Structure 1
Amino acid sequence: MKIKNYDGIIEHHKSVKSTNLMAIEKIQKNEDFDWLIADYQTDGRGRSSNVWDSPVGGLYATRVIKDNNLDYSHISQISILSSVIIAYTINKFIDGWNIKLKWPNDILIGGDKLCGILIQTLNHDNNFYIIIGFGINVKKPSVKTQGKYAYLGEINKEVIIDKLFDELIRNFNKIINKWDYGNNFEEFRNYWMKLSSDIGKQVTVVDQKTNKSGIFECIDESGNLILRIENDLIKINTGDVFLN
């Protein structure tokens, strides 16, 4: 898979409801772009429609991939890749810190959430699009936010959002190209498992229909969570993971 070997078409906005929502609207209007970035979002969303606090001082960006060689079967791998892209990116600024990855695509420092990722898909005008939204906490806001979060700027006060975004673009291009439609996924799968916060632990996986408890065994060659329940291995492709 080959992504353009440059930054692409980048649109910067002061304020949007959501960079992913704006991306979908622009696709439906047949507008050409690669990245959207905003200073803040008024209606930021995470997985399962969870609210993602998006005050000024964070990096809120969406990358769109238009590629008819991709389909829904690639989404779990791309979810894992997106976490790896962020891990590579923030490691540039806080090398040596204990970065952990939480399935499917959260990034933690000290047990607190530093970054969330929202992946959506769209079929439009006979083309398949994958919309990947990144929200990275950089500067700690003065107003109280919901939940426990980590902030990159609290660890390295020299972090500049523009440089962080440049590093994100560079790692996105490098990793997606190397992944090559899954031909080289194993390298990134192993990297993800090395940084996993939960592999080998007793967890409960919750989705909209069921709760399953067992040992988080690994992620498979597609990026699915493999849960050991007694002597059975169960494949899970969606849900939220909680330590027991």
Structure 2
Amino acid sequence: MTFALGPRAAKAGYGLVAFDQAGSTNAEALASARRGDTRRSWFVTSEQTAGRGRRQRPWIAPRGNLASSVLEVLSVAPAVAATLGFAAGLAIETALRQVSLEAALRSGGRASFALKWPNDVLADGRKIVGMLLEAEQVAGGLAVVAGIGTNVVAAPPDIPTPAVSLADLGVQVTAEDLFSALSDAWVEYFGIWNEGRGFGDIRKLWLERAAGLGQPVAIRSGHAIIEGIFDTIDEQGCMLVRTAEGRLEPITAGDVHFGSVASQGAV
């Protein structure tokens, strides 16, 4: 099979650059923007050799997994652009639910998905998607790239959070089928986001699918650990943690651990 945009994405005028193999689809998207190509476009591959996640952690996609990045050139402030990551989470979670349901109708494999703050998707409690949002000023505006890496056939064994693939869960789909669903879902949630004006609606939808809401949580940020209850996310996308003293602590970044791991101090 070859990669193809979904019908909604094609109608919306998105471009598509597909690679047999790529170092990093995010890097390819940013390079395109630097060259002056500001068309909204997807950059995809089923084998990524030099991808990266937050804090420059490697994110390698062996052949059969999906590495995808969408480029949007916007006239918004970087702080507003940062909230686009929540729309990306909703888009891939929606696509995963769609292909999982279709697979279940064919052969029975199905999974339950949830969004983990700030930029992961969990399947039955294990990491199946990692996302990385990057932005850079270019001639046409702010080039924003949402990178979305999904474990379709294999999951990396050496990451801090236990990971899983669709194949592990018995969901038999291809990276190409998942991408088609993702590109269409992106059109929907990018439209709702509406250059940040619709983040209130995105926030509500995200919270409906959030992992760990109302549960004990520990966030490691540098050498500090903040513990409490995951209360909500605010209008800027920060996690709000209610501490034992009843104070709401805003979290802008960090490694999040829920449940029993949280009680052990996020080790």
TM-score (norm: length of structure 2): 0.82
Q: CA RMSD in A?
A: 2.2
Unmatched segments (≥5 aa) in structure 1: none
Cα deviation digits, residues 119-140 of structure 1 (max 9, x gap)? 0110122621111101011113
Residue 200 of structure 1: how far off its partner (Å): 1.4
1:124 equivalenced with 2:138 (yes/no)? yes
Contact 2:20/2:46, CA 8 A, preserved across alignment: yes
Contact 1:103/1:240, CA 8 A, preserved across alignment: no
Correspondence list, 1:53-132, <5 A: 53-68=60-75, 70-95=76-101, 97-125=111-139, 127-132=141-146
1:27 maps to a residue whose letter is A
Q: Which residue is 1:152 aligned to?
A: 166
1:111 maps to a residue whose letter is G
The one of 12, 34, 38 equivalent to 1:6 is 12
Residue 92 of structure 1: how far off its partner (Å): 0.2
Runs of 4+ in 1 over 6 A off after TM superposition: none
1:43 maps to a residue whose letter is A
Residues of 2 paired with 1:97 and 1:122: CA distance? 36
3-state SS of the aligned residue for 1:30?
Answer: coil
1:231 equivalenced with 2:246 (yes/no)? yes
TM-score (norm: length of structure 1): 0.89
Cα deviation digits, residues 141-188 of structure 1 (max 9, x gap)? 7xx742432212344544122221111111101111122233333333
Q: Which residue is 2:191 aligned to?
A: 177
Q: Which residue is 2:265 aligned to?
A: none
Q: Which residue is 1:24 aligned to?
A: 30
Query: Number of matched residues?
Result: 239
Q: Which moved more, 1:146-155 or 1:195-204?
A: 146-155
The one of 149, 155, 164 equivalent to 1:135 is 149
Q: Which residue is 2:205 aligned to?
A: 191
Identity %: 24
Residue 204 of structure 1: how far off its partner (Å): 1.7
Residue 52 of structure 1: how far off its partner (Å): 1.1
Contact 1:101/1:192, CA 8 A, preserved across alignment: yes
2:56 maps to a residue whose letter is S
Contact 2:47/2:67, CA 8 A, preserved across alignment: yes
Correspondence list, 1:186-225, <5 A: 186-208=200-222, 210-225=224-239
Q: Which moved more, 1:8-17 or 1:198-207?
A: 198-207
Change (3 A) 1:180 1:146: same
